[in-house]
A and B are shown apart, each in its own frame.
Chain A
Amino acid sequence: KAGVTQTPRYLIKTRGQQVTLSCSPISGHRSVSWYQQTPGQGLQFLFEYFSETQRNKGNFPGRFSGRQFSNSRSEMNVSTLELGDSALYLCASRGAGITEAFFGQGTRLTVV
């Protein structure tokens, strides 16, 4: 059974650009959540999608957005990149209910 797949694994972008990250959940999982991990703040929740609808949202600016497709794959977009957006972005998938979360390997974003 395939795990959670995130692409790309690494990205280098320039300030002001935008970026799109992709996450394919475990087959059959309909919930996808996104997290940002930095050395200073640790893991922080960005948003959760379930059946193509944003169900929960963390405390991040509107530059951070996401969407989910009918096959449960999710994308996260960050516009007008800032140096502080450099982080490891992780997505997690869950099955029905409040169940065990499984994480991908993450996308390492570096903004220069």
Chain B
Amino acid sequence: KQEVTQIPAALSVPEGENLVLNCSFTDSAIYNLQWFRQDPGKGLTSLLLIQSSQREQTSGRLNASLDKSSGRSTLYIAASQPGDSATYLCARGSQGNLIFGKGTKLSVKP
């Protein structure tokens, strides 16, 4: 069974801190790995997509890495802000669908 695991389930940090969110998956034969942000009651906002041939992607204060051999991806958020508070989801792309982790709920305290 293909599974995606995100640890921790919840994280609270003070504003300004750098942080890392973890995502692990059981099948290294992935097409891509995508990170999303979800605000309460809302849809998913795509943050970064890493193709299987890539090792990392960067967008602003966000950096995502992919290590297929170990089945791991990390999302690095630099200089966190209260507006970063949300649930962060990673999803591994297979041929026709995305397989999601349960997410990490991030709270950034002012």
Mark A residues whose CB is within 8 Å of B.
4, 6, 33, 35, 42-43, 45, 48, 55-56, 58, 88, 90, 92, 98-106, 108
Contacts and interface: CB of A to CB of B under 8 A. Distances in A.
Give the interface SS of chain B, mostly helix, strand, loop or mixed: strand
Contacts of B100: 35, 42-43
Given A42-B102, A98-B31, A33 B49 contact: no
Contact of A55 (B93, B96, B98): B96
Of B31, B41, B96, the most chain A CB neighbours within 10 A belong to: B96
Contact of B43 (A42, A100, A105): A105
Contact of A58 (B91, B97, B101, B102): B97
Contacts of A105: 42-43
A104 B42 CA distance: 9
A42 B103 contact: yes
Interface string B17-52: 000000000000001101010000111111001000
Given A42-B102, A42-B103, A98 B95 contact: yes
Nearest to B99: A45
Nearest to B98: A101
Given A33-B98, A56-B96, 17 more contacts: A35-B98, A35-B100, A42-B100, A43-B91, A45-B97, A48-B96, A48-B97, A92-B98, A98-B93, A99-B49, A100-B49, A101-B34, A101-B46, A101-B91, A101-B98, A102-B46, A103-B44
B75 interface: no
Contacts of B34: 100-101
